[in-house]
Amino acid sequence: MSDDRSAQAAVWPMPKFRFEVDLGTGMSSIAFQEVSGMDVENQIIEYRKSNSKLFSTEKMPGIVKHGNITMKRGIFVNDNDFWNWHAEIV
């Protein structure tokens, strides 16, 4: 029995689970097979000063939008911290 556990610990986490997510608050190194939606979009504001003699506009950074993050196929072994954190949010 002890040989099986040491063999499992040697290959843990499983090779398919390539992403470790750190959620802070004591929850770090949670293994997920897929993490998506980590995109950022920065809107551009075109602005022309009212007293400017130039007819062209200036481009300035605007509102930043972040995508929804999706984490699929997570592994939680004898750990309910993630589910407790999820329940608090919901």
Say if 47 falls within a structural domain. Answer: no
What confidence tier does 16 reach under pLDDT thresholds 50, 70, 90?
low
Q: Is the pLDDT reported for residue 3 higher than 60?
A: no
Bond before 13 cis per omega within 30 degrees: yes
From CA 90, how far away is CA 88, in angstroms rounded? 6
Query: What tokens does 19 get?
Result: 């992403």
Q: Is the pLDDT reported for residue 1 higher than 50?
A: no
Say if 58 falls within a structural domain. Answer: no
Share of the chain above pLDDT 90, in %: 13
Say if 77 falls within a structural domain. Answer: yes
What confidence tier does 30 reach under pLDDT thresholds 50, 70, 90?
confident
Query: What tokens does 14 get?
Result: 């499983």
8 is in which domain, residue-wise? 2-39+66-89
Strands (E), the chain: 19-21, 30-36, 40-47, 58-66, 70-75
Q: How many domains does the chain have?
A: 1
């090779």: which residue's tokens?
A: 15
Q: Is the pLDDT reported for residue 68 higher than 80?
A: yes
Say if 51 falls within a structural domain. Answer: no
Say if 30 falls within a structural domain. Answer: yes
